[in-house]
């Protein structure tokens, strides 16, 4: 079966660092995406990993270990505007390139 | 603005009525996806198109749901005989058919069935 697990909620303090974990068990794998979604808005793309290792993009970094079925999103120098849901999605290995979505992690950044 | 657009942004309808939503993808994107999302959940895949061909439809989708993309550009999603359980945010996304197939989302259509 297809399964993606993320923590439901996390809380962090402005200026701090937070790591959001994602584990997956899917029949195929062809890349992992992280999206940010503010309440009432559509998801927006943050990062993409297809090979093992760390991808850094400004304050956000994403890590992938394919052998462990594990990824994390690292947010540095947290700002209040980072309060949002963070969605992990795995791309199917089939021709349809369909994304399999986690339920999302709701991050609250407190002053 | 050259992003994905959806219309309407909000729709309130009575149970049993039919509704139709429209999605205009990014112009050079040939893949188009429809998702449904309820509060506290991730997007739930409904269907996707490559150009005008509907290549996959979720088994979760009842036959009350139909989608078209007649000329390979905009797409419509129709729900017939709406039920209260259809209340959700309907998201459209588009992508190129090349790596990394990154999907860009529209603002969504929020459907409320009363």
pLDDT in the model for residue A52: 97
CB–CB contacts below 8 A, A to B: 52
Q: What is the pLDDT of residues B33-89, one digit of tens each?
A: 999 999 888 899 999 999 999 988 888 777 899 999 998 899 999 999 999 999 999
| Opening angle at CA A33, ends A30 and A38, nearest 5 | 155
- Site from B9, B38, B42, B103 to mutate, A interface, most A CB atoms within 10 angstroms: B42
Regions of chain A where pLDDT drops below 70: 1, 95-97
A42 contact residues in B (CB cutoff 8 A): 91, 105-108
Q: What is the pLDDT of residues B11-49, one digit of tens each?
A: 999 999 999 999 999 999 999 999 999 988 889 999 999
Range 90-109 of A in CB contact (< 8 A) with B: 91, 96-104, 106
d(C-alpha A1, C-alpha B96), whole Å:
27
pLDDT in the model for residue B58: 87
pLDDT in the model for residue A1: 66
Inter-chain touch A96–B103, beta carbons under 8 Å: no
Which tokens sit at B4? 């994905």
d(C-alpha B7, C-alpha B107), whole Å:
9
Report yes or no: A69 at the B interface, CB cutoff 8 Å. Answer: no
Q: Which residue from B minimizes the CA distance to A92?
A: B101
d(C-alpha A89, C-alpha A46), whole Å:
11
């Amino acid at each position: 079966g297809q399964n993606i697990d993320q923590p439901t909620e996390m809380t962090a303090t402005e200026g701090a660092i937070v790591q959001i974990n994602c584990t997956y068990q899917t029949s195929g794998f062809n890349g992992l995406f992280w999206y940010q979604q503010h309440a009432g808005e559509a998801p927006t793309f943050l990062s993409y990993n297809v090979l093992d290792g760390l991808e850094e993009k400004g304050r956000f970094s994403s890590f992938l270990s394919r052998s462990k079925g594990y990824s994390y999103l690292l947010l540095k120098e947290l700002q209040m505007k980072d309060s949002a849901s963070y969605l992990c999605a795995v791309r199917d290995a089939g021709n349809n390139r369909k994304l399999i979505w986690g339920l999302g992690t709701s991050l609250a950044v407190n002053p | 603005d050259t992003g994905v657009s959806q219309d309407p942004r909000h729709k309130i309808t009575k149970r049993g009525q039919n509704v139709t939503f429209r999605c205009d993808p990014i112009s050079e994107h040939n893949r188009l996806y429809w998702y449904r999302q309820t509060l506290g959940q991730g997007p739930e895949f409904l269907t996707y198109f490559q150009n005008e061909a509907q290549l996959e439809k979720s088994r979760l989708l009842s036959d009350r749901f139909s989608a078209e993309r007649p000329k390979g550009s905009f797409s419509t999603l129709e729900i017939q005989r709406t039920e209260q359980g259809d209340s959700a945010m309907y998201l459209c996304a588009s992508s190129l058919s090349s790596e990394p197939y990154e999907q860009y989302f529209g603002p969504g259509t929020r459907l409320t069935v009363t």
